[in-house]
Amino acid sequence: MKNIVLASDNKNKITQIKEILPDCNILTLSDVGFEEEIVEDGNSFLENALIKASAVREFLNNKGINYPVLAEDSGLCVNALDGAPGIYSARYAGGHGNNKACREKLLKNLKGKADRSAYYYAITVLMDYDGTYTVGEGKVDGIILEKEGKENNFGYDPIFYSTELKKRFSECSPKQRNSVSHRSRALKQLFHLDKKCDLNK
């Protein structure tokens, strides 16, 4: 089992990635002592993922640690809003991570719109110690419902209806969600996986 440093301390994201890659030893930023603030000022999901991966790679190199870095950037894109909130999904309502406020703003901006189609999108980057990297991407289509459902306070899941699973993401079990999620598809493309991660092959 090979160590991978995940460029995140988001508990929900960490849990999902560990579920998707059960055979990888995922280390978080806290595990390696990374405490710097990363400014995600890129103009795309890929740019933001690379910013995170590069910052953590430089930190690890300075400590003499040659573990690869896994970085991810993702968000919700709503067609009637020209792809918004997109890369600003986590801070759509202003402050970073206020999920309920972001959902409320989205529902307000969609009021009266006939087209409520949307999709979750994710980019994953695996960067080696020398800066070389590979990329995976994933997408899952859905519809933004008019009212919130079961509260799990993770992103836009309580208002995102998966057209594949025929239910809100907040109503899905982890296994159901990971079977179609944008994050799961991006990781599986990145590692060329069906069900498991084996970086030693």
* Residue 69: closest CA among 125, 9, 142: 125
Q: Which amino acid is at 73?
A: D
Q: How many helices (H) and strands (E) does the chain have?
A: 6, 7
Round to whole Å and give the CA distance between 150 and 133.
Answer: 38
Q: Which of 9, 73, 82, 128 is catalytic?
A: 73
Tell me whether residue 73 is one of the annotated catalytic residues: yes
Say which DSSP state 36 is in: P
**Residue whose tokens read 């799961």:** 184
8 A C-beta contact, residue 106 and residue 120: no
Round to whole Å and give the CA distance between 178 and 157.
Answer: 13
**Strand partners of residue 126:** 70, 134
Positions marked catalytic: 73
